[in-house]
Amino acid sequence: MEVGACGEMAGTPEGAVFLVGVGVGSLSMGLRAMEAVAEALAGAGRDGCREAAAAALDAATAAEARAALRIALAPA
């Protein structure tokens, strides 16, 4: 079964990295968000998304979770 996500979270680079990292198979978002999200996912890769999502889930605070997701977006 494939899971999809639509909305604000799917349309942000950090949110998309998290959603893909936890196994969401399709994302729906506004046209304006597509380029930034596509670049973020391409840069992070599936493994990077998984690692970032795991780190976010293990974080003690929301700020730490967001920081873990932003690390996946940082240029290598």
Res 75 pLDDT > 90: no
> Is pLDDT at 76 greater than 70 in this prediction?
no
Give the residue among 64, 70, 62, 56 at the shortest CA–CA distance from 21. 56
Q: How far apart, in Å, do the first and last CA atoms of the chain sit?
A: 33
pLDDT band for 3, please (50, 70, 90 cuts): confident
Digit-coded pLDDT (tens) for 13-67:
999 999 999 999 999 999 999 999 999 999 999 999 999 999 999 999 999 999 9
Which amino acid is located at 74 in the chain? A
